[in-house]
Amino acid sequence: MAYDAGAVIPAVFTILRCGLLPFGKESVLFFSRRATTVVFLSALAGACGTTAQPPVSPFVLDDFGDTIHTARPARRIVSLSPVTTELFFALGAGSRLVGRTHYDSYPAAALAVPDLGDGMLPNVEAILGVHPDLVVIYASQSNRAAAVQLRRAGVNTLAIRDDHISDFRRTVALLARATGDTLAGVAIADSVERSLAAVSARPRPARPVTVFWHVWDSPILTIGRGSYLDELVTIAGAKNIFGDLADPSPQVTLEEIVHRNPDFILVGTVTGQALRKNVLWRSIPAVREGRLLVVDTVLVGRPGVRLGEAARSLRALILKDTVR
Amino acid sequence: MRPRTWIALLVALLVAALAGLALGPVSLAPGTVWSALFGNGDANAIAIVQTLRLPRIALGIVIGAGLGVSGAALQATLRNPLAEPYLLGVSGGAAVGAVTAVALHFTSLAVLPIAAFAGAALAVTLVLLVARAAGARGDPRVLLMAGVVVGAFANAAVMVLLAGAPGDTVRGALWWMMGSLSDATWQGTRWIAVYVVIGGTLLLALGREIELLALGEDPAAALGVDVERATRRVYLAASLLAAVTVAGAGLVGFVGLVVPAIVRALGARSVRSVMLGAAIAGGALVVAADVVARTVRAPAELPLGAVTALIGVPFFLSRLRRMT
């Protein structure tokens, strides 16, 4: 039982957070098309020289369907997911964070924010202990009770479900509304979508390069069609061998991996070494022949500010193609 | 048991093994499997058959044999047709031992069974003390209650041990506790087989004592058996067998309950023949259950312990009804 805890936990955390809504490949394509439109429109907006903050209503609805008050910018924020923590720093609101999860390690300044433990089934008492005026939580069913408790305690609680790349713009917009800087939000979303579109526009190899994403060992978990990482693999120009499974983090067998025979296995640092030595995993040609690619899970595993960078790094890793 | 019945049991084992070889999440033609068995044909088929399916079958046979013999010996000695390592809390104790060893970084299958054995021996001692304290050693239900209570205690102990462990260990350990043959390798199976042969031989050697103990403690003592010593030896050897199976494949319940009953129903009378028959039938049952675990939800895999419990619990209930 040898695992790469440091690299695997954040990845699994992200995967486990992925929702159950099936998300077809078409949507990713749609997204690319939409992304270009958005880039185009925002370029226009930039040309017009709009600088004033657009008028906003004092409420938004979050992904639990609850009303969030955004009349006053939040000043003491608890962010319970690595993605939103990164985003708050990108929005220039890092100094307003008073709590994060155990897994929020980027940017380095985030480590100075108090660690409140898990983001899934969080410790409500610990959160209330830092007196936040806004808590951002992942909108999964298991977090529902915590959100209700926090609201009952009078804390503005924003639940966000960011399972897909297409959710990114909305996530940024919601957080930007909460911090009171909607323009910064638009700028971030534009820049991320621009980078993604640049990677997406690169030529695809005639014969698809297939990958198996090693998420977990016992049982073996990988990424399926419904996951953000599957979308990222597609944008990077490769093909996930389990892209046909609707489950975002399906359990699979070694036999099936041998059968689907991927060109590359994507793994975390320590996991890679363990797999190479494992008799059972060596039944996969890619493992036997050393076609293992080590993924920077902290960068790639999170659908956040560095999405563009993540897509670029995956493309460079799998197709050896550097996108400027 | 008539020779015909022995042959039938061996045929059942053979059929289960052939099914294990031929069926899996990846469908291979019988011809492909046959040539792969001898190292001919497609490299991936060879890997699937030789590295993934064969060791699984071997481990399944060894585990099933261990559980069957252990159950048969316990049932006779305790004069209780519902006695079984899992229900008696012996497997739970073994799990505590094994998890402790893993937490201390002893993961080799040469060492793990010994740690599991220590836990199992402790559990069986506890169960007998609890049953004795309840004052009704003759009542089979009291003993089972003690076993279930000790098993629950062991479960709690495992959870406490895991609470301090990193998240990846917890998930891995929980999967393992549900029982699975998915980590089967030749090297590991060899160690498990060595221990199963030792434990099985010990119990077969104790066959005459067990036979007499099955008559009751007083008759056994009257016929010259050192009851205390013989009982202790049977418990220890049966615990060793159960512990080894836990170290090799996690908690696989109810095999030790179902299999000896089937063998007795087929006409086995002497304790030795029940034990031998249970070894063969146990192997067949576990291999067959594993085929189900591997194929019904492919490419995902069911925990083996869940499959055996689905078979075992209704069986247990029907037995219990007949007793009361």
Check which CATH number belongs to the domain holding A272 and give it.
3.40.50.1980
Do the Cβ atoms of A9 and B51 come within 8 Å? Answer: no
How many angstroms separate the CA atoms of B281 and A314, rounded? 51
Please tell me which of the candidates B167, B184, B300 has its beta carbon nearest to residue A250. Answer: B300
Domain annotation covers residue A51: no
Per-residue pLDDT tens digits for B270-311: 999 999 999 999 999 999 999 999 999 888 889 999 999 999
Interface probe with B: pick from A255, A269, A297, most Cβ of B within 10 Å: A255
Contact A321, A202 (CB under 8 A): yes
Residue finishing a domain among A198, A214, A243: A198
- Residues contacting residue B219 through CB under 8 Å, at least 6 positions apart: B212
Q: Which residues of A touch B108 (CB under 8 A)?
A: none
Residues A192 and A222 both lie in one domain: no
Q: Which residues of B touch A280 (CB under 8 A)?
A: 51-52, 183-185
pTM of the model: 0.80
Residues A209 and A193 both lie in one domain: no
Domain annotation covers residue A29: no
- Residues contacting residue B157 through CB under 8 Å, at least 6 positions apart: B96
Q: How far is CA B167 from the centre of its chain?
A: 28
ipTM value, please give it: 0.77
Residue A188's domain spans which residues?
35-45+57-198
Nearest chain B residue to A221 by CA distance is B300
Do the Cβ atoms of B53 and A285 come within 8 Å? Answer: no
- Residues contacting residue A187 through CB under 8 Å, at least 6 positions apart: none
Residues A286 and A263 both lie in one domain: yes
Residues A70 and A189 both lie in one domain: yes
> In this structure, which topology does domain B3-323 adopt according to CATH?
ABC transporter involved in vitamin B12 uptake, BtuC (1.10.3470)
Residue finishing a domain among A165, A198, A231: A198
> How many Cα neighbours within 13 Å face the side chain of A206?
0
> How many Cα neighbours within 13 Å face the side chain of B197?
7
> From the DSSP assignment, how many helices (H) and strands (E) are in chain A?
13, 10
Which residues partner with A242 through β-bridges?
A: none
Q: Give the pLDDT of chain A (324 residues) as one tens digit per residue.
A: 333 344 444 434 333 333 322 332 323 333 333 333 333 333 333 333 344 555 556 778 888 888 887 778 899 999 999 999 999 999 999 999 999 999 898 899 999 999 998 888 899 989 999 999 999 999 988 899 999 999 999 999 999 988 899 999 999 999 999 998 889 999 999 999 999 999 999 998 889 999 999 988 878 999 999 899 999 999 999 999 999 999 888 999 999 999 999 999 999 777 778 888 888 999 999 999 999 999 988 888 888 899 999 999 999 999 988 776
Residue finishing a domain among A176, A198, A220: A198
Do the Cβ atoms of A253 and B300 come within 8 Å? Answer: yes
